[in-house]
Structures are given as structure tokens and as C-alpha cells.
């Protein structure tokens, strides 16, 4: 008997919203890899959450902005998450951190991140490809958010030279690494499904 297995749902997030962002290009390349692996891959634009910079006075007077609940619901609706962070002075961008800080202020915000598989990528025109930011983001997501960050990760250096015309990573070894990262988080999500 054939039993249809629903496609795994992967949520992809880029830590920059600017037009032409390398992290968006890498997010989209990762999305195509996930789709080729049979996943149902969707994108969340952090800018569209319209979250103000975290401010306790805003929280006290207006509550947590609706964008935080949008992020919470998107994470809850997916089996796994993939985040591509740029690097600002060695750290992940405020766009990423601020969104997750707001998420942590929701009563049930941390319940949706706990045990959720997540894969990390970074991109930068620089020589390290955002490696420092990615490693910091790993700690951040593991500690309070209790996400399961897969060991496989990738920092794409010299991002302005890294992409082929079709949007894939031009270097075959880099493309294979990206496939490995995406497959790792999908594998973890699949094993969670199998265990439940
Ligand atoms: C405030 C700021 C700090 C930056 N610090 C770093 C850094 O520490 N390391 C790095 O590789 N690039 C750094 N950059 C350059 C970014 O990698 C570059 O602007 C990149 O294109 C941003 O990512 P995006 O293309 O996804 O928007 C910095 C850029 C800004 C605006």
C-alpha cells in the first residue's frame, strides 16, 4: 500500500531586506535546493513584519506588535527553518535579532522554537563570509530559543562573485555544501516526524 507522505515544510529567512541583498540571493538558492529535495519551501520577509526596534515602553503601552505573532505562527507552521545572516561588525543583523527578541516576548513564543530544527547560512562580500555572525547566531538560537541548530553550516565569502547567472552558487564545491546543509535540516525534521 502506498501512503502519501506530506512534503516537509521549510521556512527560509534572510537577515537583510535590502534590494539586491546577497543573503536574499543565498536564501533563494537554498530554497531551490530544498524544492529539488521535495520540500515545501516558503520565504518569510522580516521587513514585512514591520517590527519596531524592541522598546519596553512600546511593549507596556501597546503590547507585542502583531509581526511577532506572524513570525511565531510561521515557525509553528513549518517543520524546519533556515536562516541566512549577513554580518554587521561580527554580529548577526539587528533585523534578525530584533525579530527574535520580540518573538521571545510572546507568552507562547518560545514554545514554537523549542526543538525546532534550524540550519544557518551566512554571506558577505568579505573574506570570512559572515562566519562570526553565523556562529553567534547559533549560540543565540540554541540558548533561549532551544532550537536544534544542525552542525552543517556555510559561510559564503566574496558573495558578490559567488552566484551564477541562474542564481545557484557557481562553485561546484560550494553548491554541494549548500545541498548538504539543506539536506541536513530536512533529515532532522524527517526524523522528528518519524519519532512522533
Ligand atoms: C554596519 C555594517 C557592518 C558591517 N560589518 C561587516 C562585518 O563585520 N563583516 C563582513 O564580512 N561584512 C560586514 N559588512 C558588509 C556586509 O557584509 C555587506 O554590506 C553585505 O552586503 C550585507 O549583506 P546583504 O547583502 O545581505 O544586505 C558590514 C556592513 C554594514 C552596513
**Contact indicator for 39, 9 with CB cutoff of 8 Å:** yes
Atom of ligand 1 nearest to the CA of 84: 26
Instruction: Give the C-alpha separation, 190 to 185, whole Å.
Output: 9
Q: In 55-190, where do the E strands start and end? A: 80-85, 117-123, 148-156
At residue 1, the pLDDT reads 46
Residue 28 belongs to what H/E stretch? helix 22-36
Contact between 67 and 51 under an 8 Å Cβ cutoff? The reply is yes
Alpha carbon distance 191, 162 (integer Å): 32
Alpha carbon distances (Å) from 64 to 56, 58, 67, 101, 182: 9, 8, 8, 11, 32
Ligand 1 site-directed mutation target among 13, 88, 96, most atoms within 8 Å of CB: 88
**Which residue is closest in CA terms to ligand 1's atom 8?**
89
What pLDDT does 196 receive?
A: 78
Q: Look at residue 195 in the predicted model and tell me its pLDDT.
A: 85
Q: Does residue 85 have its Cβ closer than 6 Å to ligand 1? A: no
Query: pLDDT (tens digit, 0 to 9) for every residue of the chain, 196 residues total?
Result: 455 667 999 999 999 999 999 999 999 999 999 999 999 999 999 999 999 999 999 999 999 999 999 999 999 999 999 999 999 999 999 999 999 999 999 999 999 999 999 999 999 999 999 999 999 999 999 999 999 999 999 999 999 999 999 999 999 999 999 999 999 999 999 999 888 7
Q: CA–CA separation, 1 vs 11, rounded Å?
A: 31
Residue of 28, 46, 87 with the most ligand 1 atoms within 8 Å of its CB, for mutation: 87
Beta strand 148-156 with 80-85 is unpaired
What was the pLDDT predicted at 3? Answer: 57
pTM above 0.95, yes or no: yes
Q: Is the CB of 18 under 6 A from ligand 1?
A: yes
Amino acid at each position: 500500500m502506498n501512503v502519501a507522505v506530506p512534503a516537509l515544510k521549510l521556512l527560509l529567512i534572510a537577515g537583510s531586506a535590502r534590494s539586491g541583498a546577497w543573503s536574499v540571493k543565498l536564501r533563494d538558492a537554498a530554497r531551490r535546493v530544498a524544492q529539488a529535495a521535495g520540500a515545501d519551501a516558503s520565504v518569510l520577509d522580516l521587513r514585512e513584519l514591520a517590527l519596531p526596534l524592541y522598546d519596553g515602553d512600546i511593549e507596556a503601552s501597546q503590547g507585542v506588535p502583531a509581526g511577532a505573532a506572524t513570525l511565531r505562527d510561521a515557525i509553528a507552521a513549518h517543520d524546519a527553518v533556515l536562516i541566512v545572516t549577513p554580518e554587521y561588525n561580527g554580529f548577526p543583523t539587528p533585523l534578525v535579532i530584533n525579530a527574535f527578541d520580540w518573538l521571545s516576548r510572546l507568552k507562547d513564543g518560545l514554545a514554537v522554537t523549542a526543538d525546532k530544527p534550524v540550519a544557518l547560512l551566512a554571506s558577505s562580500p568579505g573574506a570570512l563570509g559572515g562566519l562570526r555572525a553565523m556562529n553567534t547566531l547559533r549560540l543565540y538560537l540554541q540558548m533561549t530559543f532551544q532550537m536544534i541548530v544542525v552542525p552543517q553550516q556555510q559561510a559564503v565569502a566574496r558573495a558578490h562573485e559567488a552566484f551564477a547567472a541562474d542564481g545557484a552558487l557557481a562553485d561546484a564545491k560550494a553548491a554541494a555544501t549548500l545541498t548538504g546543509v539543506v539536506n541536513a535540516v530536512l533529515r532532522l525534521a524527517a526524523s522528528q516526524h518519524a519519532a512522533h
